[in-house]
Amino acid sequence: MAFFRDAKPAAALAAVLAGLPWASNDFTAYQIALFLVYGMAAQGVALCWGRLGFLSLGHALFFGLGAYLSGGVLRAASNEALWYLLLPLAIAAPALLAYLIARVVFARSTRSGPYFSLITLALTMLGFLAAQQWSGLTGGFNGMADIPELPGTSRYETLYWVIAACAVGSTLALSLLVARPIGVVWEAIAQNEDRLQLLGYATDRIKAMAFAGSALLTSLAGALFAAHQGIVTPQAMGFVLSTELVIWAAVGGKASALGPLLGATIVGYASAELREQLPYWEAAVATLFIGVVLFLPDGVAGLMRRGQAPRRASAGQAKPVRRPFAPAASLALAEVQTGQAGVRILDGLSLGLQGPGIRCIIGPNGAGKTSMFNLITGRLPLRGGNIRLNGHDIGGQPAWRVARQGIGRKMQVPSVFPALSVRENLGLALWAGRAHGTDLLCLATLGWQTPLLTDILGQFQALSEHLDNPAGNLAQGHRQALELAMTLLPEPGIVLLDEPCAGLSPAETHHMIQAIQSLVLRIGAAALLIEHDMSAVDALGGEVYVLHQGRLLEQGPLAQIQASPAVRAIYAGGRK
What 8-state DSSP symbol labels residue 179? Answer: T
**Terminal-to-terminal C-alpha distance of the chain:** 75
Give the largest Cα separation in the chain, rounded.
95
Closest CB to another protein among 5 and 275? 275
Q: Which stretch binds another protein (CB under 8 A): 30-38, 256-264, 275-283, 473-481?
A: 275-283
Q: Which of 66, 74, 195, 89 is nearest to 145 (CA)?
A: 74
User: What sign results for the dihedral spanned by CA atoms 67, 68, 73, 78?
Assistant: positive
Close Cβ partners of 447 (under 8 Å, ≥ 6 residues apart): 313, 314, 316, 318
Contacts (CB under 8 A) with another protein, residues 382-411: none
Cα 413 from chain centre: 21
Please calculate the CA angle 210-204-167 and round it to the nearest 5 degrees: 5
Question: How many Cα atoms within 13 Å fall on the side-chain side of residue 67?
Answer: 33
Q: Which of 84, 269, 289, 571 binds another protein (CB under 8 A)?
A: 289
Interaction of residue 563 with another protein, rule CB under 8 A: no
Site for another protein contains 250 (CB under 8 A) = yes
Toward another protein, which CB reaches closer, 53 or 503?
A: 53
| Closest to 60 in 3D by CA, of 318, 248, 281 | 248
Report if residue 142 touches another protein, rule: CB under 8 A.
no
Which of residues 28, 31, 191, 243 is near another protein by CB under 8 A?
A: 243
Q: Is 191 in the site for another protein (CB under 8 A)?
A: no
Give the chain's radius of gyration (CA, Å): 28
Regarding 297 and contact with another protein (CB under 8 A), the answer is yes
Q: How far apart are the C-alpha atoms of 219 and 213, rounded to whole Å?
A: 10
Instruction: Show the CA angle centred on residue 224, arms to residues 218 and 228, nearest 5°.
Output: 140
CB of 296 to another protein, least distance (A): 11
Nearest distance in Å: CB 286, another protein? 4
Total chain residues near another protein (CB under 8 A): 39
Give the nearer residue to another protein in terms of CB position, either 23 or 341: 341
Judged by CB under 8 A, the stretch of 123-131, 196-204, 353-361, 409-417 that binds another protein is: 123-131
Contacts of another protein in 337-356 (CB under 8 A): 341-342
Which of 60, 73, 105, 527 forms a contact with another protein (CB under 8 A)?
105
Nearer CB in complex with another protein: 88/113: 113
Q: Is 239 in the site for another protein (CB under 8 A)?
A: yes
Residue type, 347: D
- CB of 126 within 8 A of CB of 242? no
Quick check: 137 binds another protein (CB under 8 A)?
Answer: no
24-63 residues near another protein, rule: CB under 8 A: 49, 55
Stretch that binds another protein, among 32-40, 125-133, 201-209, 445-453 (CB under 8 A): 125-133
Q: Detail the DSSP E strand segments found in 355-417.
A: 357-362, 384-389, 392-393, 407-410
Among 165, 272, 290, 303, binds another protein (CB under 8 A): 290
Residue whose CB is less far from another protein, 282 or 393: 282
113 binds another protein (CB under 8 A): yes
Binding status of residue 413 toward another protein by CB under 8 A: no
Query: What CA dihedral angle connects 172, 173, 179 and 184, to 10 degrees?
Result: -150
* Stretch of residues binding another protein (CB under 8 A), selected from 158-166, 292-300, 331-339, 483-491: 292-300
To 5 degrees, how large is the angle CA 119–CA 125–CA 128?
145
Per CB under 8 A, 115 contacts another protein: yes
Question: Which position among 15, 18, 81, 104 is part of the footprint of another protein (CB under 8 A)?
Answer: 104
Of 375, 436, 428, 451, give the one whose Cα is nearest residue 199.
Answer: 428
Residues 6+ apart with CB under 8 A from 19: none
Looking at 293, 303, 328, 563, which residue binds another protein (CB under 8 A)? 293
CA distance 362 to 353: 15
Span near another protein by CB under 8 A; candidates 285-293, 360-368, 488-496, 508-516: 285-293
Considering the complex, state which of residue 125 and residue 452 has its C-beta at the smaller distance from another protein. 125
Q: Is 161 in the site for another protein (CB under 8 A)?
A: no
Does 1 interact with another protein (rule: CB under 8 A)?
no
Among 12, 18, 81, 129, indicate the residue that binds another protein (CB under 8 A). Answer: 129
Which residues are CB-neighbours of 121 under 8 A, at least 6 positions away? 57, 58, 239, 242
- Which is nearer to another protein, 19 or 297 (by Cβ)? 297
Among 109, 308, 461, 535, binds another protein (CB under 8 A): 109
Q: How many Å apart are CA 484 and CA 513, to the nearest integer? A: 11
The rounded distance, in Å, linking the Cα atoms of 488 and 433 is 12
Give the residues lining the site for another protein (CB under 8 A). Answer: 49, 55, 104-105, 108-109, 111, 113-115, 117-119, 122-123, 125-126, 129, 132-133, 239, 243, 246-247, 250, 279-280, 282-283, 285-287, 289-290, 293-294, 297, 341-342
